[in-house]
Amino acid sequence: MEASKILIATDTLKFYYCTKREYLRPVKIFRTVQTFEQYLSAERNSGHTIAFVPTMGALHEGHISLIRIGLEHATCVVCSIFVNPTQFNQPEDLKQYPRTPDEDIALLFRAGCHALFMPEAEEIYPGGRKFQPEVELNGADKVMEGHFRPGHFDGMLMVVYRLLEITNPDFLVMGQKDFQQYSLVGMMISQLRLNARLIIGPTRREPDGLAMSSRNRRLEASFRKKAPIIYQALQYARARLGQLPVRKIESEASAMIDQEGFRTEYFQIVDGQTLLPLESADQASHVVACVACWAGEVRLIDNLSLKP
Ligand code: AMP
């Protein structure tokens, strides 16, 4: 062991080797709503502002970049890891979802995250209690992910609402990577007048352009090698916007991805405010291209702002 490394214990008695700098502030881990709420109210009473980064774990640099954004805005940054069963429309996908809690805790610890909430489903949905926040989404939840993953956004909004209820953060930090997800959460926050200010972090990519994702670790080597085509197709759409009809750009970009052996579920150019499909680029001031495709058994999504 290097001289600068120290073995430390967190409050749940997990032990980590870490540097002296890290030793100064170990991440606190909470598994129950009650202890987590007690911690948050003590932090608030001591004058701290709270940034919250909800995740499903199997953390990577994309998640950690959100922790760093949280640290720029608030004096206390909390993360949750909860693989939310209500947002999986396929039981096999839920079963296969990667879980790497020890690595996750170490990453959060190194990033300077203050606390981690890792509840069981019973804590989030006591007695199996399910509820649906009443939000008018005007069809924004029925297109793209909502169309191909029925029920996904009901489950997602349910868990985000519940996590916000527990955490009541000053800032909620989410990633551009899940464009439709954060757009719907933004609608919920403004309609229900929730306290949290939504901050969006840019999509972090691998050097070859593939958007970082927990699911990437399940990619077969051949798909991993060809996966940069997804980002290339999005860039192609950006280059062609205003030159070709939107439908043609969509079909050409889909074909580019499919030619590499992926199966594109949708490649859609949408209004960045309403999330509804566009007929032409000048119909909206914010235009986003969104894609979902299958790489064998693994489903990948990505998006790119085409305008502005
Ligand atoms: P997940 O664990 O996949 O549910 O994601 C948790 C949060 O991390 C969501 O707000 C995602 O949008 C965000 N996120 C996931 N991948 C990335 C990435 N590559 N870059 C930035 N944020 C990301």
Q: Is 175 in the pocket of ligand 1 (CB under 6 A)?
A: yes
In angstroms, rounded to a whole number, what is the distance separating the alpha carbons of residues 193 and 195?
6
- Please tell me the residue having the least CA distance from ligand 1 atom 14: 175
Q: Is 210 in the pocket of ligand 1 (CB under 6 A)?
A: no
What pLDDT, on a 0 to 100 scale, did the predictor assign at position 308? 75
CATH number for 302: 3.30.1300.10
- Whether 14 and 149 map to the same domain: the answer is yes
- Whether 19 and 156 map to the same domain: the answer is yes
Domain boundary among 136, 166, 201: 201
- Whether 231 and 195 map to the same domain: the answer is no
- Whether 76 and 182 map to the same domain: the answer is yes
Contact 308, 284 (CB under 8 A): no
Q: Which of 64, 87, 177 to mutate to test the pocket of ligand 1 (most atoms within 8 A of CB)?
A: 177
Ligand 1 centroid, distance to 202 Cα (angstroms): 10
- Whether 79 and 178 map to the same domain: the answer is yes
Contact 50, 74 (CB under 8 A): yes
Task: Give the residue numbers marked as catalytic.
Answer: 63
**In this predicted model, what pLDDT tens digit does every residue of 226-245 receive, in sequence order?**
999 999 999 999 999 999 99
- Whether 197 and 226 map to the same domain: the answer is no
Q: In ligand 1, which atom is closest to the CA atom of 177?
A: 12
What pLDDT, on a 0 to 100 scale, did the predictor assign at position 168? 98
Domain boundary among 176, 201, 226: 201
| Burial environment of residue 7 by CB neighbours within 10 A (0 to 12, 13 to 18, 19 or more) | exposed
- Whether 165 and 267 map to the same domain: the answer is no
- Whether 57 and 94 map to the same domain: the answer is yes
Structure tokens at 11: 């409050």
What pLDDT, on a 0 to 100 scale, did the predictor assign at position 14? 44
Per-residue pLDDT of the chain (308 residues; tens, 9 = 90+): 333 444 444 444 344 444 444 445 789 999 999 999 999 999 999 999 999 999 999 999 999 999 999 999 999 999 999 999 999 988 998 999 999 999 999 999 999 999 999 999 999 999 988 889 999 999 999 999 999 999 999 999 999 999 999 999 999 999 999 999 999 999 999 999 999 999 999 999 999 999 999 999 999 999 999 999 999 999 999 999 999 999 999 999 999 999 999 999 999 999 999 999 999 999 999 999 999 999 999 999 999 999 87
Q: Is 119 in the pocket of ligand 1 (CB under 6 A)?
A: no
- Whether 190 and 299 map to the same domain: the answer is no
What pLDDT, on a 0 to 100 scale, did the predictor assign at position 24? 56
Is residue 23 situated within a structural domain?
Answer: yes
Q: Is 70 in the pocket of ligand 1 (CB under 6 A)?
A: no
Q: Is 87 in the pocket of ligand 1 (CB under 6 A)?
A: no
What's the domain range around 30?
6-201
Ligand 1 centroid, distance to 117 Cα (angstroms): 17
Q: Is 203 in the pocket of ligand 1 (CB under 6 A)?
A: yes
pTM equals 0.92
Is residue 208 situated within a structural domain?
Answer: no
Ligand 1 centroid, distance to 81 Cα (angstroms): 12
What pLDDT, on a 0 to 100 scale, did the predictor assign at position 129? 87
- The count of domains in the chain is 2
